[in-house]
Chain A
């Protein structure tokens, strides 16, 4: 009678795929099939039919009893099910209904000779609080991670091409097209993204307890800090993931060796070949291997740390005082304090501006200079927009910005070519400065040294005096501001920053761009140092331009919404009166204008 009932059961069961010949899914397809034990632990017996119907898993062509011993599950209620042994032999139905026997036992052999051997995995399991039960396959420590699941969307993505396969592979030429397609497709490219691989490795390698037990540094953090890691976080699948370096060329991932093993691709003797593999840096020099991939600045203690520390100090001693000065300037406005001679200076500026000669003499930037500045503005903006998303690759805004540019490749190209234009502009400016110096020398008849020292963008002892005067005014020790000339010390300092920064950023950028040539002649560590200097200098430049310069020329209430000095060349009266009164007096004197009188024409 029971037999008859089961016949009825099978006949009445909804359609299920052939991979479930035992018809276990007639019950196990229900999500609610499960229970909660006395300890509050959930036991879910649900098996998603999609796993079989849509070949969503690697074992979709297996019977349930290939993994779960028949004697345990053939009886209802089932006996307690013992842990699955992945090294057991299972039976696949191949093409033409030919049965194929298969086992993962060779993989266990590979693991045993790898750094992830049984002893290591046992130790990890213990450190993690024994998530794997006694006898449960160690494979699950990695392979039960969500990373190894194939979502239903993946099946959907293959549905369209598979439909083409089924045009021929219909009833006359039956093939499990979904499985075959996936089998080939999955092996023709990496099955998992670099981000997923990093996450999977990070489950142990980023876990403090595991790192402590094995004496390992936080290699995941240092990888993510590296250029490879940042590219990965920005969606690049071309960059190196953990496996690209730590698994030998065309070797099985389960054979990963320790860097101390001479056969490991990360062993010092093998590392150069690993870096120069055809997929990575084939044209690089052998010395590329000394570039630091897992660099942690704070613990490295090498030259990289000292360079970074030096930059931090430089930023503190240059940017810090600039911030204080800028804040004090704003404070003057907040409390409504003005230079006692401000109205007098404003009056003089208005009178000079009313005269065409005065207006011309007060033009602080020529068309030529303005053109150079705007070229710099455009290049700088583009460099910031394409450079800083790489620096802050872990932030959502960085990924958004990279997407806006159409991906990391475009961002890199835009960054490199904007840098190139900036370098050309820098060389052009040097030529321009030399021409100006030659003209000045001819006009004044002075020697070269005096001419160069007299260039308006260079500092002189008067600037230092004026700086202290300015500080005295801002700290309420003096009642008047210093009478600054055409360029204040602040502007000269900014000019020097651009000058120095362009050189440093340009040279380090070129070293990284031409990394193959660099590593042919120089150690790979130069790339690490160049990358660090490039980053820190870019940071310094952004801080000065973004916080000090932009507030001064755009956001300051004196000039808001924008100082016209760099658009029309004419500096606003208020700005002239407050920040360039020395220039006003100089022009007035040249034109014979009495500070309180009228302009004398002729």
Chain B
């Protein structure tokens, strides 16, 4: 027992052997690291040697090849664009357009990745193809109008609408270009007499427009306006130039679309449902009753023949309140009573329209 006590009261293992053990571990680890390092060097030497010699042999004994960068040059020659028929291949891509040099077309219409009609793989970005008279005009609207605005059977008469961001699918403000045009039109007096008050709005909206379009002239004007004193000759000149320039940017490429006003989730769910229903539809064999049933289900409440152009562009009581959607009064008036829309209605009734020569202008700006 005494011995036991003695043993218990004796100090445990001395630090020295413990340190020695630790050192041994360290030494083993060090040796391991060293050997691994040597192995890595060995592999690098073999790899580098082989690669270098292989390169030289290729260089001397095989025909010279055009480097990848020069081999993958773009070719503008036109051909079918199967990409735009299949939306999954379009995701994230903006493929090149067909012949375009003399029309300065260098990219294809970007797809709307929040549109169920497209993401289902059923319809392409340029979906209208049947009626020769109007198909291109109908497709024209694809960049800024949700399909439902014309094809929703439940819409009739004035319809509340909203702008939906193409990138997020969420409701957003009216495009900055439109807001800016409206501001310059409605607040012309304030811009003239109280430039300091008008300046922040112009600068902010123009900044948003530049972010969206990256247009060099708008960028230049933004820099001019931002760095000059509101009301100074430089500022006024830039604002006047901006007023002239902005209409050139009303081309429907706003990065946003007009859709029927509804909660964002509801809109997303609607398009999601379309895409989901399309999957069994596309999987079903052609001509089967199941396929027909699914087709009917998908297109329930959707007009195959869309609303007439004049539903929006016809008269004061049109479907859309353009001013509320951010358009300036002049633009709104022009859109409400569009001569082109009336002309389209005529053409649809089989009356071709000839452009008279006398309308051609001179070299002045209009």
| Contact (Cβ within 8 A) A7 B143 | no
| Contact (Cβ within 8 A) B38 A30 | no
| Contact (Cβ within 8 A) A153 B216 | yes
Chain A nearest CB, measured from B309 CB (Å): 13
| Contact (Cβ within 8 A) B49 A30 | no
Q: Which residue of B101, B215, B337, B340 contacts A26 across the interface (Cβ within 8 Å)?
A: B340
How many angstroms from the CA of A20 to the CA of B119 in the assembled complex?
Answer: 37
Q: Which of A49, A144, A539 has the most chain B CB within a 10 Å cutoff?
A: A144
How many angstroms from the CA of A128 to the CA of B79 in the assembled complex?
Answer: 11
Chain B nearest CB, measured from A469 CB (Å): 22
Contacts of A159 in B (CB 8 A): 216-217, 220
Q: Kindly state whether residue A8 has any CB partner on chain B within 8 Å.
A: yes
| Contact (Cβ within 8 A) B361 A543 | no
Contacts of A280 in B (CB 8 A): none
Chain A nearest CB, measured from B333 CB (Å): 8
| Contact (Cβ within 8 A) A15 B143 | no
| Contact (Cβ within 8 A) B60 A308 | yes
Contacts of A198 in B (CB 8 A): 70
How many angstroms from the CA of A326 to the CA of B44 in the assembled complex?
Answer: 11
| Contact (Cβ within 8 A) A27 B340 | yes
Chain B nearest CB, measured from A166 CB (Å): 11
List B residues 28-84 near A (Cβ within 8 Å): 31, 34-35, 37-39, 41-42, 45-46, 48-49, 52-53, 56-57, 59-71, 73-82, 84
From B123-131, B262-270, B296-304, B318-326, the one touching the partner chain is B123-131
A551-564 CB mask vs B (1 if < 8 Å, else 0) is: 10001110010000
Q: Kindly state whether residue A253 has any CB partner on chain B within 8 Å.
A: no
Q: Kindly state whether residue A394 has any CB partner on chain B within 8 Å.
A: yes
| Contact (Cβ within 8 A) A14 B247 | yes
List A residues 1-46 near B (Cβ within 8 Å): 2-3, 5-10, 12-18, 21-23, 26-27, 29-46
| Contact (Cβ within 8 A) A319 B106 | no
| Contact (Cβ within 8 A) A9 B60 | no
Q: Kindly state whether residue A291 has any CB partner on chain B within 8 Å.
A: no
Q: Kindly state whether residue A297 has any CB partner on chain B within 8 Å.
A: yes
Contacts of A536 in B (CB 8 A): 56
| Contact (Cβ within 8 A) B64 A10 | no
Q: Kindly state whether residue A222 has any CB partner on chain B within 8 Å.
A: yes
Q: Kindly state whether residue B342 has any CB partner on chain A within 8 Å.
A: yes
Q: Which chain B residue has the least Cβ–Cβ distance from A62? A: B102
| Contact (Cβ within 8 A) B126 A27 | no
Q: Kindly state whether residue B362 has any CB partner on chain A within 8 Å.
A: yes
Contacts of A27 in B (CB 8 A): 137, 140, 340
List A residues 56-85 near B (Cβ within 8 Å): 56-57, 59, 67, 74-77, 84
Contacts of A16 in B (CB 8 A): 248, 365-366
B260-284 CB mask vs A (1 if < 8 Å, else 0) is: 0000000000000000000000000
| Contact (Cβ within 8 A) B140 A76 | no
| Contact (Cβ within 8 A) B128 A203 | no
Contacts of B208 in A (CB 8 A): none
| Contact (Cβ within 8 A) B354 A75 | yes
Q: Kindly state whether residue A53 has any CB partner on chain B within 8 Å.
A: yes
Q: Which residue of A31, A67, A557 contacts B143 across the interface (Cβ within 8 Å)?
A: A31
| Contact (Cβ within 8 A) B56 A312 | yes
Q: Kindly state whether residue A333 has any CB partner on chain B within 8 Å.
A: yes
A155 with B216, Cβ < 8 A, contacts A53-B248, A75-B354, A297-B64 known? yes
Q: Kindly state whether residue A48 has any CB partner on chain B within 8 Å.
A: yes
| Contact (Cβ within 8 A) B63 A218 | yes
Total contacting residues, chain B, CB less than 8 A = 103
How many angstroms from the CA of A74 to the CA of B109 in the assembled complex?
Answer: 26
Chain B nearest CB, measured from A22 CB (Å): 6
Q: Kindly state whether residue A369 has any CB partner on chain B within 8 Å.
A: no
| Contact (Cβ within 8 A) A2 B46 | no
B98-111 CB mask vs A (1 if < 8 Å, else 0) is: 11111111101100
Q: Which chain A residue has the least Cβ–Cβ distance from B46? A: A327
A129-152 CB mask vs B (1 if < 8 Å, else 0) is: 001100000001101111011001
| Contact (Cβ within 8 A) B66 A555 | no
Q: Kindly state whether residue A107 has any CB partner on chain B within 8 Å.
A: no
A74 with B49, Cβ < 8 A, contacts A36-B84, A334-B38 known? no
How many angstroms from the CA of A131 to the CA of B77 in the assembled complex?
Answer: 6
Q: Kindly state whether residue B251 has any CB partner on chain A within 8 Å.
A: yes
Chain B nearest CB, measured from A566 CB (Å): 20
| Contact (Cβ within 8 A) A42 B84 | yes
A34 with B340, Cβ < 8 A, contacts A44-B98, A44-B100 known? no
Q: How many Cβ-Cβ contacts under 8 Å join chain A to chain B?
A: 316
Q: Which residue of A298, A330, A333 contacts B45 across the interface (Cβ within 8 Å)?
A: A330
A224 with B66, Cβ < 8 A, contacts A75-B352, A146-B74 known? yes
| Contact (Cβ within 8 A) A74 B355 | yes
Contacts of B85 in A (CB 8 A): 36, 40
Q: Which residue of A6, A31, A309, A326 contacts B355 across the interface (Cβ within 8 Å)?
A: A6
Interface size, A (range): 35 or more
| Contact (Cβ within 8 A) A77 B75 | no
| Contact (Cβ within 8 A) A331 B42 | yes
A8 with B61, Cβ < 8 A, contacts A36-B85, A323-B45, A557-B38 known? no
Chain A nearest CB, measured from B92 CB (Å): 18
| Contact (Cβ within 8 A) A33 B79 | no
| Contact (Cβ within 8 A) B45 A32 | no
| Contact (Cβ within 8 A) A40 B52 | no
Contacts of A298 in B (CB 8 A): 60-64
Q: Which chain A residue has the least Cβ–Cβ distance from B245? A: A15
Q: Kindly state whether residue B5 has any CB partner on chain A within 8 Å.
A: no
A15 with B248, Cβ < 8 A, contacts A27-B140, A539-B56, A543-B52 known? yes
| Contact (Cβ within 8 A) A206 B70 | yes
How many angstroms from the CA of A205 to the CA of B49 in the assembled complex?
Answer: 35
Q: Which chain B residue has the least Cβ–Cβ distance from A141? A: B77
Q: Which residue of B42, B57, B73, B100 contacts A330 across the interface (Cβ within 8 Å)?
A: B42
Contacts of A53 in B (CB 8 A): 248
Contacts of A3 in B (CB 8 A): 356
| Contact (Cβ within 8 A) B141 A32 | yes
How many angstroms from the CA of A38 to the CA of B65 in the assembled complex?
Answer: 39
Given A40-B81, A144-B76, A152-B216, 4 more pairs with CB closer than 8 A: A9-B338, A31-B253, A32-B252, A48-B104
Sample (7) of A-B pairs whose CB atoms are under 8 Å apart: A12-B334, A17-B365, A18-B365, A40-B80, A44-B105, A224-B67, A319-B52
Mark A residues whose CB is within 8 Å of B: 2-3, 5-10, 12-18, 21-23, 26-27, 29-51, 53-54, 56-57, 59, 67, 74-77, 84, 93, 97, 128, 131-132, 140-141, 143-146, 148-149, 152-153, 155-156, 159, 198-199, 202-203, 206, 218, 220-222, 224-225, 233, 296-299, 305, 308-309, 311-312, 315-316, 319-320, 323, 326-327, 330-331, 333-336, 394, 536, 539, 543, 546-547, 551, 555-557, 560
Mark B residues whose CB is within 8 Å of A: 31, 34-35, 37-39, 41-42, 45-46, 48-49, 52-53, 56-57, 59-71, 73-82, 84-85, 97-106, 108-109, 124-126, 128-129, 132-133, 135-137, 139-143, 215-217, 219-220, 244, 247-248, 250-253, 333-334, 337-340, 342-343, 346-347, 352-356, 359-366
